[in-house]
Structure formats: structure tokens, C-alpha cells
Structure 1
Amino acid sequence: MPAQRYSYTAITLHWLIALLLAFQIALGWALEGNNSPELFARYQLHKSVGITILLLTLARLAVRLFVSRPPASDGPAWTRTLASVVHWLFYLVMILGPITGWLLVSTARVEVQTLLYGVIPWPHMPVGRSWHEPAESIHGAMAWLAIGLFALHIAGALRHQWLLGKPELQRMVPFARGKAVGAAIGALALVGGAFAAGDSIYPDKKQAAAQQRSAAPATPGAAATPSAVPAANEEAPETDAAEEAVVEDTKQPLADWTVASGGRLGFTARWNGEAIDGRFSRWRAAIRFSPDELAGSTIRVTVDLASADTGDGQRDDSLKSSDFFDVGAHPNAIFSARDIRHLGGDRYEARGTLDLRGASKPATLRFTLQIDGDRARVSGTARIDRTAFGVGQGEWAATDAIAAGVDIAFSFTATRPAS
């Protein structure tokens, strides 16, 4: 006897693919707008879902070839032909759509590693940039074809079920062996829910962030935020007279300080008003310093730009690319300062230059310093203008999406040889 229902494996794969495809179509519509963290996250999810659809479709094809299935429905030749064409076009969409998307990622100008759902690495195709435009055209065509096929497939199933009275839905709807009205309504609701989820996931926070920025009061101490290019006539504040009355024999000589492990060098960029925090896990500092010999004190910090970590592997790979840090050509950023000034109390300022991405610009950082014997605790901040160093090329050069100002924050402990 021929099978009257599809196997549970076929049913499960059918509905998984259907829901993912509905979600993917709606998510594709949401891949528009200004660059933002939400848009970036949508793209990464879109890639992951696409590869999932590809793998599930290959599994579904294997089941179709090797597992028995119900016979085709009776009817005029044209309806059977149309049903067969729709099914095979669906397979074309579910295979060619993800493959062309894979080609787009593999040939993109900015190379971003694909991590399926942020966990599983997925390789790029070894193809040239000439594949990009054809893949883009085909990928878009597959999306529109999928929408048309969805409409035809649903209309055909409902036609067989209610107009012709044939139990088509019972063969594919899970656990439906009698009347499938309730199950069909539930299935349509699931598909509609998948569309809605794809359209609404990662809502764009740009407008809310802009309103928050406009309503936010001035940040206390904002005037003390260091600038990448300090004013030429800026002078260090005068210190208290008591601080200047230092007995000569208690002055601390210049010493080379060793930075202890566990220090932090972080940065904060703003993407459509939303703060994106990161840090550099590899950096080193050569510090020769004495609060009593500032004229001879020097600071040199070398940062391994490839160690940038924002908590998102794909975004971190983007930072390493030629559009941002270009670590292949410029692996390190170097801050050097010889002009160190006392601002009063435990506050200091270091003026120097920052070499980043092949550009050298004036930069200033301010820090607090507490020395206890031969151990010091240091924390400070700086702000740089990324556009002055060319960090952000092409579409990323504009400051409407990613702000020009990037805040730097650091803290560490250091020791000097015992005196």
C-alpha cells in the first residue's frame, strides 16, 4: 500500500524550512537603513538562517529521494504540472538563494568572518570579486521568487483542501489525521508569526537614541574630556603652594615603571547613538616617570590593533579590515608623550602624538596617579577623532552613523625598582 502521509522526518523538515524561509524573507526586508548595530546584527542572523535553510533543504532532498511518500494528487494535467514546477522552484530558491548570499559575503569588499549564530565558523568561497554583482542580482531575484512561490503553494493547498475536498493538508500537517481545519489555521498562524518575527527582530534604536541624546543633560566634568588636538594656548593649572614646597632630598628620581598584568585599555564608539564598548587585550607600555622630574618623564604605549575585542567576532573582524584599522599594513597604534604636566592633586596630563593607521596626530590624555611606595595606580581617559586617522573608509567615513569621537579609558598598576 502506498503511504498516505509523509514521514515525520519529511514533515519536520518541511515545516522547519517553511518557518525559516518566512522568517528570512521578512528579515531580508529589514536589511535597509543607516548602518547601525541593529542592522549589523540582522545581517549576521540573515547569513546564519540562510546557511541553515541550505543544509535543511539538502536533507529534505535526501529524504524525498530515499523515503517513500504519498502519491501525487489527482487532477487535470496542468494542475499537477504546476504543483511540480512550484515544488522544484522552491528547491531552487532554497539552494540558490543561500549560495548566492554566501557568494556575496565571500566577495564583499569588507571581509567579515561568518560565524553561524555567533558560534560556528563558516568559510568564504574561494572566488573573485567578479562574482559579486551577478550573485547580488540572482539573490534579489530569489527573494521575490520565494514570495510568489509561497503564495502559490498556500493557495494550492487550500484549494485542494476546501474547494476540491481532498485531504492534502492531513498528509503534511503534523498530527492531523482527521479534519485539518484547526491544524491548518495553526500552521498559517505559525507562518505569519515567522514573518512578523523576521520583520521586528533587532528593532532600530536610532530614533530613541537620538531623543535620549537631545534630552540628556551635559555630562558632569565634560569640560575635562581630553581632546585629540589641545588648544595651543592651554596652560596647566597652578598647583597649590603646599605641593610646591617639597624638600629637595625627598624628591623622587626618574624610574622605569613596569606595568603589571591585569590592566585594561578600553574604547567606546557610538553607533547611531548607541555605545559600543571594546578593549584591546594586547598592549605594552614603556614608562619613565617621576612626579618630581616631569621634564624628563616619557610615556610610550604600543597597542596591538588585532587584539580589539567588542564581544562580537564578526564586528571585530571588520575592525581589522582595510576599512578600519587595516592591521595588515598597520598592526600597531603607538602613543608617545614627552610633555607631561601636573594639573594639581593626583591629576596629570600627557601631551604627545598618536600614530594610527599610518597617520600621526597630536593627542592628549589625562590621568590620575597614586603612588604608594614603589607601586602606582593609574587611570585615565582620552578622546580621539577617528576620521583624522582614516579609521572608517568608504561608507563608514561619514559620521552620521558612527560618531567621529571615540573615547579611550585605561587603568593599570605599575611597579618600579625598590629605591
Structure 2
Amino acid sequence: MTGIGPAGRRYSRGAIAFHWAIAILVILNLIFGLLHESLLEGLGVMPLHFEIGITVLVLSIGRLIWRLTHRVPPSPYHMAGWERVLSLAVHWIFYALIILMPLSGWAMMSGGPRPHQVNWFGLFDLPLLPVTGTFSGASHEFHEIFGIAMAVLVVIHIAAALRHQFILRDGVLGRMLPGVEPKHF
């Protein structure tokens, strides 16, 4: 953080590690989830999809705790008020989705006519959640809606990061990239 103005401080190493680990797993799981019935059919990716989902859930709870106990760098001074509000809203929607998506998937697997225990990378079975078939069906619908919302938000988030990097050239992306020192704002 030395030599960087207050608006240019980068995120902590913990925040960066949580961000990129979850981002990679979410994007991978979006690909598995959205394409499993078409392009990935027959490859048996769904057990891995479930395992990654549970990993995202655990990491997301850790990330939320980290976020609530560590300060984030302030928004750049040049960002308009609406951009700051939109950025904050999108980040909190991400927090909600990275927790609700795995939970809805777990609930979906736990109920219905054929409950299915999820095994986590061959180490242990997760217990079935005490849900009814109706709740399981609703969880399936929510899981799909959350998945589409997550995909849209990921695209918007990446587009915004690229806008900051290549159009505005304001160093915002550097605050979250490991090993990159962000520019002054």
C-alpha cells in the first residue's frame, strides 16, 4: 500500500484469494450447470458440479466473514455516485447468489422422489437437508434462476472490470489482481 493514495489501496490478500478462488469455481460451475444437458451430456460432470458447489458455499461463507471483518478500499474518487451504488449492489447480490445457489442445489438434491446424497470429492457424504419434495422442486427452479442471474452478473462484472482497465485506464482492476500494483486515482 505504500505510495498509493487512499482511493487506490488494493484489496487485502485474503479478499483477493477468496475472490479469485470463488470466481474460477463459479465460472467453471456455470459452464457445467448451463451446458450439462447439451454440450457436456455424457461426460458425467454433475457430481463434480455438486462438489464444486459445496466448495463455493464454504468459501463464500468464509469470504462473507472476511468481508464483514476487513475494510475494503474506498471507491475511486472519480466514480459517479450511481456507479458506486451500482457496484456495491452488484457485490452484495454476488454474495447472496454465491451462498443461495449452492444451498438451493443441495436442497434440490435432498428432496424429491429420489433424494441423492452429495459426496464431497470422495471424502465424505453430505447429509440430506430436511426438505419436502415441493421445497426441492422450488429449489430446482430457484437454482436455475440464480444460475442465469449469476451468469448475467459475471458477464457484467467482467465487462465493468475490462472497461476500467482498457477504456478508463483507472487502475481499478489492479486493486484485485494478485501481484499488480494499482495506479493512483
Q: TM-score normalised by the shorter chain: which range applies? A: 0.7 to 0.9
Deviation at 1:167, TM superposition (A): 1.0
Residues 86 and 152 in structure 1, CA contact (< 8 A), matched pair in contact too: no
Q: Which has the higher contact order (CA 8 A, sep 6+)?
A: 2
1:18-417 matches, within 5 Å, as 18-32=23-37, 38-39=43-44, 42-74=45-77, 75-177=79-181
RMSD of aligned residue pairs (Cα, Å): 1.9
Aligned length: 175
Alpha-carbon deviation of 1:117? 1.2
Ranges in structure 2 where 5+ consecutive residues have no aligned partner: none
Task: Tell me, yes or no, if the aligned pair for 2:116 and 2:128 is still in contact at 8 Å.
Answer: no
User: Comparing both structures, which one devotes a greater share of its residues to strand?
Assistant: 1
Q: Of Structure 1 and Structure 2, which has the larger fraction of its residues in helix?
A: 2
Q: Show CA shifts across 1:10-51 (max 9, x none).
A: 101100000000100001123216xx8733xx2211111111
Sequence identity, in percent? 35
Deviation string for 1:118-167 (max 9, x for gaps)? 22221111121110221111100011111110111111112222322311
Give the TM-score normalised by the residue count of structure 1: 0.40
Of the two, which has the highest radius of gyration?
1
Q: How far off its partner does 1:9 sit?
A: 0.9
CA-to-partner distance for each residue in 1:211-251, whole Å, 9 max, x for gaps? xxxxxxxxxxxxxxxxxxxxxxxxxxxxxxxxxxxxxxxxx
Greater mean alpha carbon deviation, residues 141-150 or residues 158-167: 158-167
Q: Report how far residue 178 of structure 1 moved.
A: 5.6
Counterpart-to-counterpart distance in 1, 2:173 and 2:36: 33
Q: Structure 1: any 5+ residue segments left out of the alignment?
A: 180-419
